[in-house]
Amino acid sequence: MADTPVAVSGGWAPVAAGLLGTLAVAAALLDGTLAGRATGARSAMVRPVGEVARLLRQRRRTTVAADRLLWRVGGAGLLVMALMIVTVVPLGRWTLFDLDVGVVWVNALDVLAWAFVWLAGWGANSAYSLVGGYRFLAHGLAYELPLMFALVAPAVAASSLRVGEVAAAQQGLWFVVWMPVAFVVYCLGVVAMAVWGPFSPALGDDVAGGVTVELSGVDRLLFLAGRYALLAAGAAFAVPMFLGGGAGPLLPAWAWVLVKASVLLALLVWLRRRVPALRPDVFMEVGWLVLLPAVLAQDLLVAVLVIGS
């Protein structure tokens, strides 16, 4: 088994935040490029930069009887959540926090997405915004349990809830090779948490933008940045859980972590326009009748192999 990562000083936290921000910006630029190709716009790659400048100049709008505190907590929550997830993601030999229950830590954090997105919808005191929030909750009821059991599989295989030990247990064979169902379900969960692609009815045009309809200025910027950051954090966490951590030839371990996270992040961004939006009621059937039994079977198979080895 490879060496497990060591915890570094909290002074490295800005570096971790900077790396997460770089991945999120890269995702936004790639998304802008892909959107430009779809519409034929030539300057689409720099459109996210212009949008950031526009939102920074835009005045915050508010609605009648809005719960401003909870509304803004919901708007900024996804970004905070992404930052907290990367605190337990090893970058090669280093990690900010080597928690005994690192896997559970991330699993607990992903539930917060329910609260943050719903608060962003509820706090505005707007009908369309509230409908968007409830649409997200309906998706959450379908993806959360499969996501939780998807994270169980690598933890059982490594006999540990430490993220670093899970990564170290994959020397020779990445977990994604013999846990493909858990990996796919995990990626679906990340996409859903970020209200991305097929899980974007909460932001649908039919409800005038749903959760984001009343967000403006810095509030809207934080919410949008949180979605990209959450997508990046989810891709980064997949590296130690399923993609062998920093294992790889030639490059140092920290570089492999960034390469693997970037490739998976690019794939998730690309899928945004390749998969149609899923109605919450339809996805709920898929989640409970297909994904949950499939990932439970994956967990059972992993447990049997671990006991028999």
Summarised one tens digit per residue, pLDDT across range 162-212 is: 999 999 999 889 999 999 999 999 999 999 999 998 898 889 888 888 899
What pLDDT is attached to residue 275? 85
DSSP element (H, E) containing 73: helix 68-85
Confirm if 147 and 111 have CB atoms less than 8 A apart.
no
Confirm if 151 and 103 have CB atoms less than 8 A apart.
yes
Pair type for strands 6-7 and 94-95: parallel
Scored b (16 or more CB within 10 A) or e, 195-225 reads bbbbbbbbbbeebbbbbbbbbeebbbbbbbb
Q: How far apart are the first and last CA of the chain?
A: 15
What pLDDT is attached to residue 39? 73
pLDDT band at 2 (very low <50, low <70, confident <90, very high): low
Look up tokens 């967000």; give the residue: 215
Collect all residues with Cβ–Cβ distance below 8 Å to 228 and sequence separation of at least 6.
Answer: 24, 25, 27, 28, 31, 194
Confirm if 14 and 86 have CB atoms less than 8 A apart.
no
Summarised one tens digit per residue, pLDDT across range 274-307 is: 888 888 888 999 999 999 999 999 999 999 999 8
- Closest listed residue to residue 237, CA positions, set 143, 130, 105, 133: 105
What pLDDT is attached to residue 60? 83
CA Rg value for the chain: 19
Confirm if 306 and 158 have CB atoms less than 8 A apart.
no
pLDDT of 63 above 80: yes
Confirm if 161 and 155 have CB atoms less than 8 A apart.
yes
Query: How is residue 5 annotated by DSSP?
Result: P
pTM, whole model, 2 decimals?
Answer: 0.93
Q: How far, in Å, CA of 80 to CA of 207, rounded?
A: 27
Look up tokens 């790889």; give the residue: 248
CB atoms near residue 164 (< 10 Å): 26
Summarised one tens digit per residue, pLDDT across range 144-169 is: 999 999 999 999 999 999 999 999 99
What pLDDT is attached to residue 171? 83
Q: How far, in Å, CA of 1 to CA of 35, rounded?
A: 43
pLDDT band at 248 (very low <50, low <70, confident <90, very high): confident
pLDDT of 45 above 70: no
Q: How far, in Å, CA of 128 to CA of 114, rounded?
A: 17
Query: How is residue 249 annotated by DSSP?
Result: S
Section 15-26 average pLDDT:
94
Q: How far, in Å, CA of 172 to CA of 153, rounded?
A: 18
pLDDT band at 236 (very low <50, low <70, confident <90, very high): very high
Give the chain's mean pLDDT.
Answer: 90
Look up tokens 């915050």; give the residue: 60
Q: How far, in Å, CA of 46 to CA of 58, rounded?
A: 19
Domain ranges of the chain: 6-308
Summarised one tens digit per residue, pLDDT across range 64-108 is: 888 889 999 999 999 999 999 999 999 988 899 989 999 999 999
What pLDDT is attached to residue 6? 82
Confirm if 106 and 236 have CB atoms less than 8 A apart.
no
pLDDT of 9 above 70: yes
pLDDT band at 4 (very low <50, low <70, confident <90, very high): confident
Summarised one tens digit per residue, pLDDT across range 97-130 is: 989 999 999 999 989 999 999 999 999 999 999 9
Summarised one tens digit per residue, pLDDT across range 210-234 is: 899 999 999 999 999 999 999 999 9
CB atoms near residue 38 (< 10 Å): 10
- The two three-digit tokens of residue 75, written as one number: 């708007």
Section 260-269 average pLDDT:
96
